[in-house]
Structure 1
């Protein structure tokens, strides 16, 4: 299938229009017309080569919402016209213990990412959702509940599941005391989801400038991390901290905020951190952990949870040709919402 998207052609050039071919339908494939695609900080890191060299040209995008336009002969779950979604992965080995446990993101043989991974059958590099169409194996396609606004649902496929999964893993519920470091694309979803689970949520930020915004999302307050007196007073006051900061940073100011047996879970930064001090960990049986998206079943669960609780990401709709400007804002770290590309804007290319 011939399609068009926006691709990075190197680590130091802007994304530009790119005509390419999607694979022909396999028996278990679903062909999707993409309606909306979220812009994730991971897209920026990947195309910039921050996480290693890439096989260019590369079409980013792993927060995908669209409609089915064709199905392979063995597909049973979807029909033409169905609203569907695709997240951060499009395949896995399906044979290891993690795949059998519904944790395909931890596949022992490596998941196949929505873009930038070798296809398990053809070996060609997968291309993502900054495009008009995508073809995906049925088992990695998700149902979009009819009550969700398709134009705003896309970021649930990454920002939503990335924060939902650790909240579920650490059994967050009524009475849980949750801190959220950062209030960007990931952080604002962490707040909304934790509040819906019944937790008391505090945003941890370098300044109080987003206090009104944090409270509008349901947070109890903001804890200003640069205020040493306030931070000291907040010692041992959280059961779980979701750390969404997407750059190298120092965990040492935050670990004393955890109560005994508390955990700080890293979901933002992939790579180096400042050297942690062991004293607060050892003397409080505190933990530093990490979490990577979620499995297909859990991703469906978060879509259903958001529909049930009327949770939608805070979105700014952009045209496809505005994506490079969006990247510049992401690099500056001044985005407290999620950019979503309206793929109808590609018709003009």
Structure 2
């Protein structure tokens, strides 16, 4: 006879969950598995709020599983380890990001790219190998195989470091893979939000020149003076972006593509963090020949992709999502060495629904982080 979820996962847990596409979060009792031989259990102290949490609780991507306990920027203190665990010990500060499982045998897994495994298991809104639902970090404790545990250096603050487990690795990985993590490169960052502000910090730490591209001119001072960007382009100001006007004459249209989008740009690579529908042509016109436009945002609708700029400048439009566990640990260690953290607003658990409303309006600078350790217990029925 098959075991019930309670029998498979006998350790009581408490968190906040969404139970339908309204996305409203409320107190929720559930359970987690016992600590296996290679498992690490830790008390959750902080959990970042990612924009994907908002998409997921509202089923905006059409794949939500309810009840849903969100959260994949989870940090805390180890309370129990399995008998075969060698990676960490009780009392260590650790984190879990977007992944808690993969097949471990495909080419991607063998090459430390669990994030591209076709059988990955997400930290929440996914199905465990035992058929139960995975629950995330808006909860009192977490358990995961040691392979998916990230060690936090002593000098890395847990609250401001938590968003690095998603936002940080999402921008760090493409900067490394596409050859942009080098001194002297010129990198554009589109969007100055949770991902974008961290991208600026990593790019500067690599020694690159950074241009922030934003629809909000009001963010110029923040980009230049606080984050240390070298220049700022307001993408709704045509003179700055050299937006190409499309004329009715086909030949003149072709000439403009060749002149402005073919290879006269000045940026080596652009990290596009925007999750709303937006034009790509102005961004492609900023790239040098052989430049790369890397998409890390996730718009709900398809974007239009102009082909002439790609042909004329041998340019690339690519995508990237988080990183494997080896690279995630590398990213956290690099961030600790260079004092890179997210700019955060720490909130209490009972503020989470208001925070989601603000997140939908981009009313946060730049990442909400829930103080789970100090405020979750007070919300328990």
TM-score normalised over the length of structure 2: 0.89
Report the equivalent of 2:120: 111
| CA displacement, residues 119-178 of structure 1 (integer Å, 9 cap, x when unaligned) | 12x110100000010110111001000111112110010000000001111222111100
Note closer, same or farther for the CA distance 1:201–1:30 as it changes in structure 2 (3 Å cut): same
After superposition, where does 1:185-264 map in structure 2 within 5 Å? 185-215=194-224, 216-232=226-242, 236-264=265-293
2:71 counterpart of 1:61: yes
- Distance in 1, matches of 2:287 and 2:110, equals 34
**CA deviation after TM superposition for structure 1 residue 53, in Å:** 3.3
2:325 counterpart of 1:296: yes
- Distance in 1, matches of 2:266 and 2:302, equals 23
Is the 2:345–2:365 contact (alpha carbons within 8 Å) kept by the matching residues of 1? no
Q: What number of residue pairs does the alignment pair up? A: 347
- Distance in 2, matches of 1:137 and 1:270, equals 32
Q: The residue matched to 2:56 in structure 1 has which SS?
A: helix
After superposition, where does 1:45-124 map in structure 2 within 5 Å? 45-107=55-117, 109-120=118-129, 122-124=130-132
Report the equivalent of 1:132: 140
State the superposition RMSD in angstroms.
1.3
Alignment equivalent of 2:368, drawn from 339, 342, 345: 339
For structure 1, the 5+ residue unaligned runs are: none
TM-score normalised over the length of structure 1: 0.97
Q: The residue matched to 1:239 in structure 2 has which SS?
A: strand
Report the equivalent of 1:330: 359
- Distance in 1, matches of 2:44 and 2:189, equals 32
- Identify the range of structure 1 (180-189 vs 269-278) with the bigger mean alpha-carbon deviation: 269-278
- Distance in 2, matches of 1:217 and 1:23, equals 42
**CA deviation after TM superposition for structure 1 residue 81, in Å:** 0.6
Q: The residue matched to 1:230 in structure 2 has which SS?
A: helix
Alignment equivalent of 1:278, drawn from 307, 310, 313: 307
Is the 2:211–2:230 contact (alpha carbons within 8 Å) kept by the matching residues of 1? yes
- Distance in 1, matches of 2:212 and 2:13, equals 42
**CA deviation after TM superposition for structure 1 residue 13, in Å:** 4.0
- Distance in 1, matches of 2:286 and 2:358, equals 30
For structure 2, the 5+ residue unaligned runs are: 1-10, 244-259
- Distance in 1, matches of 2:183 and 2:327, equals 20
| CA displacement, residues 96-120 of structure 1 (integer Å, 9 cap, x when unaligned) | 110010000001x321100011112
**CA deviation after TM superposition for structure 1 residue 281, in Å:** 1.0
**CA deviation after TM superposition for structure 1 residue 308, in Å:** 0.4
Is the 1:43–1:61 contact (alpha carbons within 8 Å) kept by the matching residues of 2? yes
Report the equivalent of 2:4: none
Is the 2:345–2:364 contact (alpha carbons within 8 Å) kept by the matching residues of 1? no
**CA deviation after TM superposition for structure 1 residue 269, in Å:** 1.5
**CA deviation after TM superposition for structure 1 residue 270, in Å:** 4.7
Note closer, same or farther for the CA distance 1:87–1:13 as it changes in structure 2 (3 Å cut): closer
**CA deviation after TM superposition for structure 1 residue 249, in Å:** 2.1
- Distance in 1, matches of 2:197 and 2:337, equals 18
Which has the larger Rg?
A: 2
